[in-house]
């Protein structure tokens, strides 16, 4: 069995699942999803912490409310910044309302001159997840590499419930998450 080919097939399957699910959501359900801040996140986000999230691609779950909550209670907030597939990802300071700039892969990114942040808490986008908190991402290794350098940080995957797969193939470099938040559930060990 070839894990990389498996992962590619799963990526295609779950990007499609995510898109099909999101186009069928009513505007109200889409608005309500991820709008409440669950208590485990309230406990984790404290004013002295830094929190990184992301600006979603079209069908990704949207962490905007979580990041706004973090900024409102006094956390430092940040977004990922990439220049291409091979270059490492960094987290740069960004507050809700600050300007965004077009980046590669249709991403909206912070100002390239913004301060580098080493986030205590990272809200992580994903293509698929499983109950063991394994994650399948976009395949460039951006989050695996960044999280391996942030060993003391808490990584929380954000996903639609339909992105759950029974058992994801895991490579040695895959960084498991500490928890996953879906529109229905808080999943942790
Ligand atoms: N919203 C968001 N921001 C993010 C990520 C992400 O997954 N989601 N990243 C996570 O690493 C980093 C960017 N890395 C990426 C690496 C590859 C592709 C990529 O191959 N995209 C596909 C289409 C993706 C889709 O529609 O979901 C492409 O361009 O063909 C995208 C992002 C940092 N910022
Ligand atoms: N810590 C690391 N150091 C160097 N390369 C890494 C590291 N982690 C992952 N990579 C590389 O990144 C590539 C993509 O990995 P993988 O297919 O597991 O990505 P993924 O699970 O989709 O997650 P991501 O969102 O991080 O892209 C692999 O070729 C791997 O060699």
Distance of CA 187 to the CA centre of its chain: 15
| pLDDT tens per residue across span 2-39 | 777 899 999 999 999 999 999 999 999 999 999 999 99
Ligand nearest to the CA of 147: 2
With a 6 Å cutoff on the Cβ, whether 136 touches ligand 2 is yes
What is the complex's ipTM, to 2 decimals?
0.94
| pLDDT tens per residue across span 146-180 | 999 999 999 999 999 999 999 999 999 999 899 99
- The pLDDT score that the predictor gives to residue 177 is 98
Distance between Cα 143 and ligand 2 center (Å): 7
Q: Is the dihedral of CA 85, 90, 96, 102 positive or negative?
A: negative
**pTM tops 0.90:** yes
User: Do 76 and 82 contact (CB within 8 A), yes or no?
Assistant: no
Distance between Cα 142 and ligand 2 center (Å): 6
| pLDDT tens per residue across span 99-153 | 999 999 999 999 999 999 999 999 999 999 999 999 999 999 999 999 999 999 9
| pLDDT tens per residue across span 31-61 | 999 999 999 999 999 999 999 999 999 999 9
Ligand nearest to the CA of 10: 2
- The pLDDT score that the predictor gives to residue 1 is 60
| pLDDT tens per residue across span 56-67 | 999 999 999 999
- The pLDDT score that the predictor gives to residue 4 is 78
Q: What separation in angstroms does the CA of 128 have from each of 5, 21, 31, 85, 92? A: 15, 13, 22, 19, 25
């Amino acid at each position: 069995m070839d894990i990389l080919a498996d992962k590619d097939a799963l990526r295609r399957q779950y990007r499609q699942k995510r898109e099909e699910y999101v186009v069928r959501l009513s505007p109200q359900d889409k608005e309500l999803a991820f709008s409440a801040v669950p208590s485990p996140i309230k406990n984790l986000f404290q004013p002295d912490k830094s929190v990184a999230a992301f600006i979603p691609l079209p069908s990704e779950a949207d962490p905007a409310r979580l990041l706004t909550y973090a900024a409102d209670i006094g956390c430092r907030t940040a977004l990922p910044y990439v220049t291409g597939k091979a270059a490492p990802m960094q987290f740069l300071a960004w507050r809700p309302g600050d300007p965004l700039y077009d980046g590669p892969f249709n991403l909206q990114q912070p100002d390239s001159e913004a301060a580098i942040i080493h986030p205590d808490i990272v809200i992580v986008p994903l293509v698929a997840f499983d109950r063991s908190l394994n994650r399948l991402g976009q395949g460039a290794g951006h989050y695996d590499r960044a999280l391996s350098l942030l060993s003391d940080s808490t990584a929380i995957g954000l996903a639609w419930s339909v992105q759950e797969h029974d058992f994801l193939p895991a490579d040695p470099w895959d960084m498991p998450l500490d928890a996953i938040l879906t529109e229905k559930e808080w999943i942790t060990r």
